Structure 1
């Protein structure tokens, strides 16, 4: 099977792109381009285990990549953990000037303080990972919840390195998490679109989709409906495929309700309903892509019309990899649409303009939860559609609808002189 096996390290750049970091060096490069000089490599780290190791890691970079490789089929988790580990590794060798496998609890406490106020050299605007302008932090103000997440991610990584006998002990076990004030509302349900506004923007987008050259608007409509009618997260939407979508026996014979098998958070599968309006939108979007939705058996539900001319995009799809939107691209798409909605709907109030200006694909998911609750859909059903682990989480939408009711009645009292 040699011809079918790629032996290249998926978490490392080609050899010519590596940057060596040694004592006194302040080079800051992403993990995949990082090489560490022998003195700081951890080949002889003071915390290295003397027992038989379960991984063939010669130094700290090998060990970190072995840990991250476990998440190769969980791209979102892989990105998050890579970010935390590369930040810590860069800090360790350039600021602390110690190998990762020689760090003690007081070093970890120092990094905990560093997270609260990163060195300016570590901070810069977002840039591609291959760019020389790339920096580990995009902001000098890391929230307390983000700091807590970083520490927990590092504690878990070091725990695994101890379990596989690469490290003798886990110094993060002696470090406490930052104190985080528990928010009453963890879900920003205030971003949900009111029913009347939701219907108006759907009508506006439908009108834009009628033009022959409106293929991008028709893609926007798919995002809108899969979020607002099916409650999908943007990552779930980006990964949704035709083979997981099928009609059911519910609804009218000509316009049945469909079902979509989704892989959500924590790699849990769930089935969500897909409205007839969404199916109509998908059929038009697939027609724009030169495909027949009715006869197709595979492929991403949502995809761009063409491959961008950028080097990275051309390289990614050179082997025939199917086109698919990256989750971040969906944010860009909705931001584009909201700007045109605000400009094209003259009857919007100031409050509605402000709401639309901050709308993202996730707001449509909140819209589904709020509207379904308002229409007395059983809470456990809403929970299953949204994929919440706890019914308590879903109940926040009940509170949001209660608050909306009180707000609307208060406006009624004010207009009728009852206040």
Structure 2
């Protein structure tokens, strides 16, 4: 019996992932099972990685199954080597080389990726966690996210840089056939427009598939430039003035650059004026086929109609201006936005006439789009109720102190500092982004701390601080800063490795701790502690924090579904309104007006109306319950 040939009993081959093979290589190299579980597995999707014992058992079983498959499908030399090892040691002792041969021979055991597979099934835990943080939990969701956002998709995922993104996309491309999903052609391309950063892009092409570029990268075909064409051929606009011009502008784009240069010290105004002018230039050249300096009243009226319904080729989700997927419109404009665009263009053309670049202003003959004068210009309905605001502050404290990953904890503390600065002082998002430590000073006033304060025990006194800042229309004002806000700022400065209370401390109150690995970001943040958040980046920081608070269960269970939905959609500006609705209860209206920087007391009185309406709504619910 002992001399009769033995039949190998091979179990049904199970499937293993790339992470499993990587873990087995580490196991063969004597890496402890606990370390393997931590590096390569997410316990939520891999229960066999829950303990070192289960991890070791899983890897031993995997090794034995692969060896059995290699005995069946491998070369005779490999089979003899494995049989001798089993006879000698009771199980196959593998080296890195023999394991690679076993893997090659047992490729039938490899799992096939499927769209519904969790990302943690195929990628390392840290990568999977970062993807899941943006709601990307399956391979299908990852492909959809990449296809939607294009080559810059990784910018929205914290700590997924361009190199890691390229690896992930390459893996998805290798498995397109088995996934049954196609990755868009530009997903793994460079996320910026072709060519060097200072290379111009000539706009044009078919209006259905136009070649677009933002104003700073834009070049216009010579025949539509409004200046001199190639080889001395004149493309001079029909509306160009014949007299001596006060600006040295050989063509229309140069004249528009000269106009925008007037607002170089007003970045917010410069940004919106640039947006409106680049939209008009793109439309005039690509859709209308006319130079800006040849535009007539009929052209202006046609553009006004275009503003009401931009062409699909000109619209798309908001993308960085360096992205190849950038579009001048994000969707249909409201009537107020259409009217604003017409007013900006009329003012720009008026200036071009005044400096004698244009002979006349066709926009003078164009009426503004019809709009409805709103009863309340300031929309305060997004302000958080007092109870929800208190619960949100407590949830921010918990998230800042209980986050397991240090980087995440630092981001929470940065978000808390920004939110409290806006919610306790009523500053705008742009003002919070530009606020500096040298303009924050302690005041000769002390208060008793309220319940829920993070600054100290209830009953202790703390000092109020004052912050001087530059608001809208370049107006300077001073606002109070709460002890809670100062405590949050101190914690944020410790994360930045700086002493908030050091003599001569200076720099932005809130600054990014992680800078994206992009050319523009690296150029702007050569000294990370000295560079503030960009206004939009600060808004994204706050929105991301609100979405995560609403979704991770940090808020009390007593919060209703409506309250959770409100938190999830809360923007940075909502905290300014929150301050206004809370402050108007306890401060004189003229004081609130001064803090908020309103030019008219009538604007501040809107918060009084909001409080009165909330009171009437609550009374209505009370009476209806009787």
State the TM-score, normalizing by the size of structure 1. 0.91
Equivalent in the alignment of 1:9: none
Structure 1 residue 263 and structure 2 residue 470: aligned? Answer: yes
Q: For residues 65 and 91 of structure 1, what CA distance do their matches in structure 2 show?
A: 18
Structure 1 position 153, deviation (Å): 0.6
Q: For residues 321 and 193 of structure 1, what CA distance do their matches in structure 2 show?
A: 32
Residues 433 and 535, structure 2, Cα contact 8 Å, conserved in 1: yes
Residues 543 and 572, structure 2, Cα contact 8 Å, conserved in 1: no
Structure 1 position 23, deviation (Å): 8.6
Structure 1 residue 112 and structure 2 residue 287: aligned? Answer: no
Q: For residues 220 and 621 of structure 2, what CA distance do their matches in structure 1 show?
A: 64
Q: For residues 352 and 121 of structure 1, what CA distance do their matches in structure 2 show?
A: 38
Equivalent in the alignment of 1:394: 604
Equivalent in the alignment of 1:200: 391
SS in 2 for 1:184: coil
Shift of the 339–319 alpha-carbon distance from structure 1 to 2, 3 Å rule, reads: closer
Equivalent in the alignment of 1:171: 362
Equivalent in the alignment of 1:64: 256
SS in 1 for 2:442: strand
Q: For residues 24 and 382 of structure 1, what CA distance do their matches in structure 2 show?
A: 54
Equivalent in the alignment of 1:233: 428
Q: For residues 289 and 298 of structure 1, what CA distance do their matches in structure 2 show?
A: 13
Q: For residues 138 and 381 of structure 1, what CA distance do their matches in structure 2 show?
A: 38
Equivalent in the alignment of 2:200: 18
SS in 2 for 1:388: coil
Structure 1 position 209, deviation (Å): 2.5
Show CA shifts across 1:172-203 (max 9, x none): 11100011112222222111111111111112
Equivalent in the alignment of 1:121: 313
Equivalent in the alignment of 1:87: 279
SS in 1 for 2:510: coil
Counterpart selection for 2:349 from 158, 181, 184: 158
Residues 383 and 575, structure 2, Cα contact 8 Å, conserved in 1: yes
Q: For residues 385 and 607 of structure 2, what CA distance do their matches in structure 1 show?
A: 13
Counterpart selection for 1:344 from 547, 550, 554: 554
SS in 2 for 1:338: helix
Structure 1 residue 412 and structure 2 residue 594: aligned? Answer: no
Equivalent in the alignment of 1:287: 494
Q: For residues 108 and 128 of structure 1, what CA distance do their matches in structure 2 show?
A: 28
SS in 2 for 1:262: strand
Counterpart selection for 2:481 from 274, 293, 305: 274
Structure 1 residue 381 and structure 2 residue 565: aligned? Answer: no
Equivalent in the alignment of 2:411: 216
Q: For residues 16 and 224 of structure 1, what CA distance do their matches in structure 2 show?
A: 37
Structure 1 position 329, deviation (Å): 2.0
Show CA shifts across 1:331-374 (max 9, x none): 22222222332222222112211221221111110011001112
Q: For residues 53 and 319 of structure 1, what CA distance do their matches in structure 2 show?
A: 43
Structure 1 residue 357 and structure 2 residue 568: aligned? Answer: yes
Moved more, 196-205 or 305-314: 305-314
Shift of the 363–319 alpha-carbon distance from structure 1 to 2, 3 Å rule, reads: closer
Segments of structure 2 that go 5 or more residues without pairing to the other structure are 1-194, 228-235, 449-460
Q: For residues 350 and 436 of structure 2, what CA distance do their matches in structure 1 show?
A: 36
Residues 271 and 385, structure 1, Cα contact 8 Å, conserved in 2: yes
Shift of the 86–327 alpha-carbon distance from structure 1 to 2, 3 Å rule, reads: same
- Higher Rg: 2
SS in 2 for 1:395: helix
Residues matched between the structures, number? 402
Structure 1 residue 242 and structure 2 residue 437: aligned? Answer: yes
Equivalent in the alignment of 1:309: 517
Which structure is higher in RCO with an 8 Å CA cutoff and minimum separation 6? Answer: 1
SS in 2 for 1:255: strand
SS in 2 for 1:324: coil
Segments of structure 1 that go 5 or more residues without pairing to the other structure are 1-12
Structure 1 residue 149 and structure 2 residue 333: aligned? Answer: no
Moved more, 311-320 or 95-104: 311-320
Residues 23 and 39, structure 1, Cα contact 8 Å, conserved in 2: no
Q: For residues 96 and 368 of structure 1, what CA distance do their matches in structure 2 show?
A: 48
Once superposed, what is the RMSD of the aligned Cα atoms?
2.1
Equivalent in the alignment of 2:85: none
Q: For residues 302 and 620 of structure 2, what CA distance do their matches in structure 1 show?
A: 52
Moved more, 339-348 or 364-373: 339-348
Residues 383 and 391, structure 1, Cα contact 8 Å, conserved in 2: yes
